[in-house]
Structure 1
């Protein structure tokens, strides 16, 4: 990602990371008949891929952002990725009340990032 700022590179890598982590944490809900041990092992494998993006994202991003700022960014990305996944993959749209709750978390994360 040459030529991109450390903050933008971190955001892009965290987005990819969160896509994999959301699949690892919630993807198995589509396969409830699969044995739990199987979905745990598959989720671990997916999480390993996630770490391959999360660790560099935080290392690169820390060049210009603090650890709390990186965590705030990650929370916003995580909520956005989860909302899309829940709606499109699981077929469970976010209710208005849930959207408001997530929005409050985003406001908190923005306060953290802007510090």
Structure 2
């Protein structure tokens, strides 16, 4: 059960991380944000990223073997990276409709899924 909670918290963490890292690229389309300077955008993104840590830190503590979780440190990192890509792809499809994924992106993603397989192989 700790593993499932860890994964769900990592998904939430990555949703905030993706919003903080890339969401500001859409700010100019929002009336309230259109004239903000770079420092303002950085502070807003930083504020959003704070919420990432509210989910990420507990996710890693719950999931890590030395705290009673099922995952090694390497397994946690690989899980996090794959979750990041999945969340990023969903975010891109929803908010950046002018972006497209090419075959080489999908092949690269497939290799990352294979990395998860090999990392978790006992």
Q: Tell me whether the two structures share a fold, i.e. TM-score over 0.5.
A: yes
2:31 is aligned to: none
- Provide TM-score, normalisation by structure 1: 0.88
CA contact (8 A) 1:17 1:54 kept: yes
Q: Deviations over 1:13-66 (max 9, x none)?
A: 000000000000000111255421111111111111000000000000112211
Change in Cα spacing, 1:43 to 1:110, as seen in structure 2 (3 Å) is: farther
Aligned residues: 111
RMSD: 1.4
Larger CA Rg, structure 1 vs 2:
2
2:77 is aligned to: 71
Q: Tell me, yes or no, if structure 1 residue 12 matches structure 2 residue 19.
A: no
Q: Which runs of 4+ in 1 moved over 3 A?
A: none
Gaps spanning 5+ residues in structure 1: where?
none
**2:101 is paired with a residue of what secondary structure?**
coil
CA contact (8 A) 1:17 1:51 kept: yes
CA contact (8 A) 1:17 1:53 kept: yes
